[in-house]
Structure 1
């Protein structure tokens, strides 16, 4: 218990950063753009929670969540009905307020001692596979939702009449530390804001390095509480801040909700580009069109550039019950891992050198994916700047009977390369929209807007 609380005090500074956007400073040279990120604030005090906050290993958390939900081990094409739990769903006014420290918890990935686990997490250079960590962070965010819930009127022995689904991941920032695939990793987090049925969770990762934990990454998950059969929203406990720190974090959650709504409304897929962006679009047109009026239907590629249409990687992935979540749909963490790995491959093959993942922004989960689906992942290089590449990865579910496809997810990744990368340029109007959207995502991830 003491060890967990020390970890909480050590990590809590990160959470206070969640109240505002992470900022960046730049030092630009002709060959490389270097980013300095302030991911974490100095450690601050956290009061001791009324509940134990050490949840064991991620494997133990998975089993505990299944137990709470009343799910049976193994795959069942027609899982046991949970409809009888609907009558136990509480009303919002029956739910007591909770402090953030009530949901604070931590869990371990014992990579230093579990050799079987190592094989799943290590890459060929001995580093950790970041996609695996994204899977764990998604599951851990759901566990924090479990810790936040308190149902005083639920009879003893009755399973939890809730399910939790991931709506979006707001942003994930990475430190300069290269994570090892053979050292323990600790996940920590807590609920940072709630609506009526939506729950924001901040999750961060640390790894044991030379006897102490060093920061790896932080993410903000927006989860939705659903009823026992996942057909309607379910209310969650409101937050009553326990101290001034929690008041700041809660205010930040409200602001982040507002910013998400603004970003969605201003997307180039919803409204036309602004005046500076339309000027940029015209400049792109002039750069890639011959000067003579006799060749207006011809496009030319400037030196040291590549067409966007030639700068993508694609894979088709059959999903299996292994990839399911607690309600027999494809686990969101699996989609995140698959997208991150194809994006990394696209960045690697584009710059011909091993890239570093700097930032993931605005992962949205638009539609559920069945465990019998074929998922097509396409990763496009949509924007470049000096030694940075902005990747847009689109996940489509293929209908095996008709051949139709439906987009379920869009992911945006920022990678850095050791050297300046070839500039990518759009050739069609819809690619220009991708270029503008990718530019926006890049500037947001770099703290330029």
Structure 2
């Protein structure tokens, strides 16, 4: 297992020139760019597992005979705030292998400055191996488990795989919501839906002009369209997945900040599914929407945001979904002030299912943060 270990150092604390390339508008570090690196790191780790620890370059995919793609990102959970004054280390390794898949665990750590290393983020990528000539799945090298610690990591990877399969089976696109979920949705709609006690304004007013305590989900949409250039290609001559992660993160952050009318703090990437690659030269339409909101305490507002990436065929106008991203942000206020959270309210059955999916994601994130005991945001 240790043969695939790989790390990347970003000396923000000791290099002002490097920090300048990553600084955001608030003087912190652009999290979206770090996600771009994590995706690249996960890919490098997967290739290192297949080609051996001494590999220095991939060479031609046709000569190698296989290629590796990101199938999904299970989670990326922020455990503590990024400190721009400290160096950052990104690392990871393959911790589980199936027949043609690999689970890659990654983490970010603060290092140096005379202080103990501190884990900032943990996450997991699911990578799959494909035959370069036959374009079908290809077997990966099995892991040799040597130490008890490696056995624990292997069992963790297997747990993540089974949890992903279980989540897919329980998806609201396949099965109806539970009776408890249906009751919660009904109670919420009676309180905030059209004609309910929470209705302060009539009509479908825009987000900017609404002064009530809720906003309909359809009014939270934020979009952008972009042409995909070859500078962002990967080794397969498609748009690099990490670049798409950064675009989705930044659009989702913008939407969350506009919705809360203030600064928001990143908590987790709750999942990414990669349905199909994005070709060079295509038009990418990113559509962001607030899917669920929650007050986890009087001083913490939490938002679950979805970003869908579609490729648009210019000639026919046909759109196909390539990626589905889910993120969670929070807005924190001091003890003397409470967050001005407006509830997001679904109006259609499809939106109601998205609202319930968001509720599920917030519950999972709260459980993970509670287990790690590193985030001050209480469970929702």
Using the TM superposition, give the Cα deviation of residue 412 of structure 1 relative to its aligned residue in structure 2, in angstroms. Answer: 1.1
Change in Cα spacing, 1:230 to 1:396, as seen in structure 2 (3 Å) is farther
Partner of 2:249: 340
Partner of 1:317: 226
How many residue pairs match? The answer is 341
Partner of 2:132: 228
Structure 2: gaps of 5 or more residues = 197-202, 296-300, 334-338, 368-378
Using the TM superposition, give the Cα deviation of residue 215 of structure 1 relative to its aligned residue in structure 2, in angstroms. Answer: 2.2
Task: Please give the alpha-carbon distance, in whole angstroms, between the structure 2 residues aligned to 1:134 and 1:285.
Answer: 36
Task: Please give the alpha-carbon distance, in whole angstroms, between the structure 1 residues aligned to 2:189 and 2:160.
Answer: 36
Deviations 1:112-131 (A, max 9, x none): 56666444311122211111
Which among 339, 343, 366 is matched to residue 446 of structure 1? Answer: 366
Deviations 1:45-74 (A, max 9, x none): xxxxxxxxxxxxxxxxxxxxxxxxxxxxxx
Q: Please say if residues 227 and 234 of structure 1, whose CA atoms lie closer than 8 Å, have aligned partners that are also in contact.
A: yes
Partner of 1:365: 274
Say yes or no: does 1:148 pair with 2:49: yes
Task: Please give the alpha-carbon distance, in whole angstroms, between the structure 2 residues aligned to 1:187 and 1:232.
Answer: 31
Partner of 2:356: 436
Which among 308, 331, 341 is matched to residue 417 of structure 1? Answer: 331
Which among 110, 116, 138 is matched to residue 39 of structure 2? Answer: 138
Say yes or no: does 1:124 pair with 2:25: yes
Partner of 1:268: 172
Q: Please say if residues 189 and 345 of structure 2, whose CA atoms lie closer than 8 Å, have aligned partners that are also in contact.
A: no
Which among 304, 320, 327 is matched to residue 236 of structure 2? Answer: 327
Change in Cα spacing, 1:279 to 1:325, as seen in structure 2 (3 Å) is same
Which among 169, 173, 178 is matched to residue 73 of structure 2? Answer: 169
Partner of 2:195: 290
Q: Please say if residues 289 and 299 of structure 1, whose CA atoms lie closer than 8 Å, have aligned partners that are also in contact.
A: no
Partner of 1:279: 183
Say yes or no: does 1:395 pair with 2:296: no
Deviations 1:230-258 (A, max 9, x none): 81222211112111111121122222211
Q: Please say if residues 163 and 230 of structure 1, whose CA atoms lie closer than 8 Å, have aligned partners that are also in contact.
A: no
Task: Please give the alpha-carbon distance, in whole angstroms, between the structure 2 residues aligned to 1:312 and 1:385.
Answer: 18
Task: Please give the alpha-carbon distance, in whole angstroms, between the structure 2 residues aligned to 1:248 and 1:203.
Answer: 15
Using the TM superposition, give the Cα deviation of residue 315 of structure 1 relative to its aligned residue in structure 2, in angstroms. Answer: 1.0
Partner of 1:178: 82
- Which residues in structure 2 correspond to 1:349-364 (within 5 Å)? 349-364=258-273
Q: Please say if residues 232 and 239 of structure 2, whose CA atoms lie closer than 8 Å, have aligned partners that are also in contact.
A: yes
Change in Cα spacing, 1:179 to 1:376, as seen in structure 2 (3 Å) is farther
Using the TM superposition, give the Cα deviation of residue 439 of structure 1 relative to its aligned residue in structure 2, in angstroms. Answer: 0.8
Q: Please say if residues 177 and 215 of structure 1, whose CA atoms lie closer than 8 Å, have aligned partners that are also in contact.
A: no
> Secondary structure of 2:285's match?
strand
Partner of 2:156: 252
> Secondary structure of 1:143's match?
helix
- Which residues in structure 2 correspond to 1:17-166 (within 5 Å)? 100-111=1-12, 117-150=18-51, 160-166=64-70
Using the TM superposition, give the Cα deviation of residue 299 of structure 1 relative to its aligned residue in structure 2, in angstroms. Answer: 9.3
Which among 191, 204, 212 is matched to residue 107 of structure 2? Answer: 204
Task: Please give the alpha-carbon distance, in whole angstroms, between the structure 2 residues aligned to 1:112 and 1:401.
Answer: 49
Task: Please give the alpha-carbon distance, in whole angstroms, between the structure 2 residues aligned to 1:427 and 1:139.
Answer: 39
**Over aligned residues, Cα RMSD in angstroms?**
2.7
Using the TM superposition, give the Cα deviation of residue 372 of structure 1 relative to its aligned residue in structure 2, in angstroms. Answer: 1.0
> Secondary structure of 2:99's match?
coil
What TM-score, normalized to structure 2?
A: 0.83
Deviations 1:160-203 (A, max 9, x none): 333110001111111222242x7532111110000111011111
Task: Please give the alpha-carbon distance, in whole angstroms, between the structure 1 residues aligned to 2:185 and 2:86.
Answer: 47
Q: Which has the larger radius of gyration?
A: 1
Q: Please say if residues 375 and 395 of structure 1, whose CA atoms lie closer than 8 Å, have aligned partners that are also in contact.
A: yes
> Secondary structure of 1:149's match?
helix
Task: Please give the alpha-carbon distance, in whole angstroms, between the structure 1 residues aligned to 2:179 and 2:86.
Answer: 50
Q: Bigger CA drift: 307-316 or 384-393?
A: 307-316
Using the TM superposition, give the Cα deviation of residue 389 of structure 1 relative to its aligned residue in structure 2, in angstroms. Answer: 0.7
Task: Please give the alpha-carbon distance, in whole angstroms, between the structure 1 residues aligned to 2:89 and 2:204.
Answer: 52
Q: Please say if residues 80 and 119 of structure 2, whose CA atoms lie closer than 8 Å, have aligned partners that are also in contact.
A: no
Change in Cα spacing, 1:178 to 1:150, as seen in structure 2 (3 Å) is closer
Task: Please give the alpha-carbon distance, in whole angstroms, between the structure 2 residues aligned to 1:230 and 1:360.
Answer: 33
